[in-house]
């Protein structure tokens, strides 16, 4: 099984491909699925700023596209000194697919926050019982 260390490293490799010319804030994500596959994602910005998509949601899209919806762990890395948490939109999207997701965040100082989607998103919106 892929370790959290390995997942962080994959997110760090992916971050190289982030397209973030407007914010100057490249983000890399790596999503581990229950069948042991890893899907990376990066933020992809646009001149029309509001069209930018976060790294986490791009990783989710790649996983779902490949037929994997059961997520086990997510690593997110940035160039911030301190770890930065996933935005609210990404929390909602992650929650859609996994109620039991480990989330690992690292900034540049090497400090790691290990949390869960349940902790990050304690009062989710659900349109019906799912």
Structure tokens at 105: 């965040």
- In the set 56, 96, 114, 129, the catalytic residue is 56
**Minimum Å distance from CB 64 to ligand THU?**
17
Dihedral Cα 99, 68, 45, 8, nearest 10 deg: 70
Q: Which of 51, 52, 56, 48 is nearest to 19 (CA)?
A: 52
User: Cα separation of 39 and 59, whole Å?
Assistant: 6
Among 11, 30, 31, 90, binds ligand THU (CB under 6 A): 90
Least Å distance between CB 128 and ligand THU?
A: 27
Q: Which residue has tokens 């933020």? A: 43
- Tell me, yes or no, if 106 is annotated catalytic: no
Question: Quick one: DSSP state of residue 42?
Answer: E
Does 45 bind ligand THU (CB under 6 A)? Our answer is yes
For ligand THU, give the closer residue by CB, 25 or 36.
25
> Which of 83/86 has CB closer to ligand THU?
86
State the DSSP code for 89: H
Interface contacts to ligand THU, rule CB under 6 A: 20, 23, 25, 27, 43, 45, 52, 54-56, 86-87, 90
């Amino acid at each position: 099984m892929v370790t959290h260390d390995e997942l962080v490293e994959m997110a760090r490799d992916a971050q190289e491909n982030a397209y973030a010319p407007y914010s100057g804030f490249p983000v890399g994500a790596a999503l581990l699925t229950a069948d042991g596959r890893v899907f990376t994602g990066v933020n992809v910005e646009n001149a029309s700023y509001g069209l930018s998509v976060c790294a986490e949601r791009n990783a989710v899209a790649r996983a779902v596209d490949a037929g994997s919806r059961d997520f086990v762990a997510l690593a997110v890395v940035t160039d911030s000194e301190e770890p930065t948490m996933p935005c609210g939109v990404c929390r909602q999207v992650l929650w859609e697919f996994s109620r039991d997701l480990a989330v690992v965040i690292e900034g540049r100082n090497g400090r790691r926050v290990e949390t869960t989607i349940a902790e990050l998103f304690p009062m989710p919106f659900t349109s019906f019982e799912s």
